[in-house]
Structure formats: structure tokens, C-alpha cells
Amino acid sequence: MKYFTLDWYKSQYPDDDDETPEVGEWPDAAHRGYASRLQELEDKLGADLLKLARLPGVHDAYITLVRHDKRRNILALTLRGGDSLVGDFDLALRYHGADISPESERTLAYITRSTGVSGRYTYGPSIHRHEVDRTEDGRIEHRFLFHGGYWFSIACDDLRWARLPRPNHRFPRRFDRFPGGPTTPIG
């Protein structure tokens, strides 16, 4: 993460117990820095990716499915997000020409497989913040920070996404949310 760093996260949740910290300056330097970066990138990212970067309801989304086609170099993520203000939705993300480090892929697998359902409730790490950016060589970089302090990033040549409305926030049950993904522990 470039703006919403792990240190920033720890300052929001000093004991990592997900309790709301005392209200400080808002928006803080991380929010102002990222908003400024998005303004810089308006011509370089395009309207569609800027819309994704500012999409409401991604906070607290869970990963429901990951597919990584290494032969075709496509990584696909599906997130379940939304709230009472924007409605429930799936966010389908497809990264073409995707590059993900082995450590980021292990973290992605851990987060994805740690998410589950108990009755009506979903548990596991959910998204705290995400950043859409351009690298120095012009590629797209999508970075995710999850509750619990987990993070990973994906670089790609092209990122396509769709917001698909859902009737509720009910989480789909699946045997493996990342078929073929790494099984080694993170760390």
C-alpha cells in the first residue's frame, strides 16, 4: 500500500481489535494524499478506473472467489460488498496481463480461504481500503488493505470491472474460494 499503509492502519486500530479509534483529523493525510494522487491520474487512469477507485461500498467487502489462469495471464476476483446506502453487490474484477508476487498470491489465498459463513454471518478479513494507481512504467496497480493488517497488490496491463447488484449480502458457500491457488502459509 502506498497511501493506506500498514502503519496508517495500525494508527486507526492501535490494538488491532477493530474498535473505532478516537476521532482525529478527518480526512487524514492518507485520504488527502490518495485523493490528490487520483486527481493527478485523471488523464492517465481514465474515467472507468477512477470510478472504481472511488466506488462506494467496497469497504468491508469480502472475497468470494478467485480464479488465476496463469496460462492466459488473467486473474479474476469477485468481491461481495455494499451497505444499506448503496445496496448489496458483487464486484467482478478481471486483471489482464496480471502480475502478482508469490507473497501477494499467498496472502490473497489466505484471505480468501479464511472467509466463511456461519448462519447468516460472514467472517474473515474484509477490505479496509483499496488503491488504484499507475506504476512508473504505465501499468495499472490495484492494492488492497484488509482488516487484520493483511495486504496484497496486483499489477496488470488492463483492468476491467463490473458492479453486479445482489438482493442481499448473503455470502455464497463454496468448497474452495481459490481453486488451484497456493496452499502454503503466509509470512
Q: Tens of pLDDT along the chain (187 residues)?
A: 888 888 888 887 766 454 544 544 546 888 889 999 999 999 999 999 999 999 999 999 999 999 999 999 999 999 999 888 898 999 999 999 999 999 999 999 999 998 877 777 778 899 999 999 999 999 999 999 999 999 999 999 999 999 999 988 788 778 889 999 998 777 6
Q: Is residue 177 included in any domain, yes or no? A: no
Grid cell 481500503 in the structure block, residue: 129
Domain assignment present for residue 181? The answer is no
- What's the domain range around 104? 6-18+25-165
146 in a domain, yes or no?
yes
- Residue 31: what pLDDT? 86
Number of domains in the chain: 1
* Residue 139 lies inside a defined structural domain of this protein: yes
pTM attached to this predicted model:
0.88
Position 120 in a domain: yes
**86: in domain:** yes
Specify if 175 maps to a domain.
Answer: no
Locate 46 and state its grid cell.
Answer: 481514465
Rounded CA-CA distance 37/31 in Å is: 10
Rounded Cα gap, residues 94 and 75, in angstroms: 6
In a domain, 183, yes or no: no
